[in-house]
Amino acid sequence: MKKSVYCLLPMVICLIISAQANNPESKLTANFVTGNPEIQSISSLSFGPEGILFIGDSERARIFALDTKDRTATTIENLNLTQVDHKIAALLGTTADKIQITDMVVNPASKAIYLSVQMQDGTPVLLRTTGESFEHIALDNVSYSSTDLKNAVAADAQDSRGRSLRKWSISDLAYYNGKVMVSGLSNEEFSSAFRSIDFPFKDKQMYSSLEIYHAAHGRYETYAPIKAFMPYELNGKPHLVASYTCTPLVIFPLDEMKAGEHTKGKTVAELGNRNTPLDIISYKKDNKSYLLMANTSRALMKIDPSKIEHYSDYLTEPVEENSATAGVDFIALPYVNVQQLDKISDEQVVMLQRMANGDLNLVSTGTNRL
């Protein structure tokens, strides 16, 4: 009998090892702890695999990974939630003028929509949609891991107008190919920074300072953070497609962004000054890929990435006319005042949009209409 047990033991061990190897959740959350992560702000959100939500906390200059345990797929059809700010405020026991929605992302595992909110007293709040209502996700007892950003802009740093720069320690983030990518400001002389952090989190961070030619400003700049970016493959190589305030569109080949080195981006377009990009996503229509960008002062912009691939006359001269554009062109779509944007699928996107009557609505639309 003992001999039979010993014969079976190696097989059992192999089965256990095989099961663990085929369970990505056990690998990604192996170093998570349960408790209160003490998140002080939520400036940026991004989802990774298995319903893991990455939170950028600018006040602490720290990235958190939360296991939302939200992996049951749902279907979103013709979403149209009206007066979202008033509904969220009512849920939180306050009024719409005392909250600010700071980001919105779709969980690709469940299709639930997550929103981050900053209360007037500074308290960060995380919400998600459940059907046509919102659910408050308590952050005092969650499964999480975290990592501090190295060389982050100091908590007391200010710009020339006396405004705090700490909120730009994290300006955007995205999960890509096993890494959490983060844009923001550092405490270095060339303060515009990009970081690539292995996930699960370890002590290692790839840091690169950035430089771009800003055509609307007519100069090279190293001090302004990327405001919105996405990893995207161009000409068979992974790139960072990034946009800055006033509104240059810049590409960075990821293989040129080396740890501890200074990287110069290639400015492929000037999309108009007096404007800040908010979100950039990709989608497909008629088997062709497009980029879609939401902005503070302009309509949704639809950009053909194949035009970026074939563009080599990078901008190095000023665009002097007010609100003029240059370089790779774009289509201004008839969607204005889009404050947040994300992709549900290649067939559907979701927008947080301020309507003509003043309502703030959460709406979905088919990509065939874009």
pLDDT in tens, 264-303: 999 999 999 999 999 999 999 999 999 999 999 999 999 9
Strand partners, 33: 144
130, part of any domain = no
**Identity at 138, one-letter amino acid code:** A
| pLDDT-above-90 percentage for the chain | 89
326, part of any domain = yes
What does the DSSP 8-state code read for residue 149?
P
Asked whether the predicted pLDDT for residue 38 surpasses 70, the reply is: yes
- Residue 78 pLDDT: 87
> CA 187 → CA 152, 153, 175, 256, 312, distances in Å?
6, 4, 24, 22, 33
pLDDT digits (tens, 9 = 90+) for 147-193: 999 999 999 999 989 999 999 999 999 999 999 999 999 999 999 99
221, part of any domain = yes
- Residue 16 pLDDT: 38
- Residue 131 pLDDT: 85
Give the N- to C-terminal CA distance of the chain in Å, as an integer: 69
216, part of any domain = yes
Confidence class of residue 26 from pLDDT cuts 50, 70 and 90? low
Q: What is the pTM of this model?
A: 0.92
Rounded to the nearest angstrom, the gap between the alpha carbon of residue 82 and the centroid of all alpha carbons in its chain is 24
Please state the length of the chain: 370
138, part of any domain = no
315, part of any domain = yes
Strand partners, 117: 101, 125
Tokens 């059907």 appear where?
Answer: 131
114, part of any domain = no
Q: How far apart are CA 173 and CA 154, in angstroms?
A: 19
- Of residues 255 and 7, the one with the higher pLDDT is 255
Task: Report the number of distinct structural domains present in the chain.
Answer: 1
> CA 344 → CA 75, 78, 105, 110, 337, distances in Å?
10, 12, 9, 10, 20
Asked whether the predicted pLDDT for residue 5 surpasses 60, the reply is: no
Tokens 């053909």 appear where?
Answer: 304
Q: Are 343 and 106 in contact (CB under 8 A)?
A: yes
Q: Domain containing 243: what range?
A: 163-333
17, part of any domain = no
Asked whether the predicted pLDDT for residue 98 surpasses 60, the reply is: yes
- Residue 139 pLDDT: 97
> What is the mean pLDDT of the segment spanning 310-337?
96
Summary mean pLDDT of the chain: 92
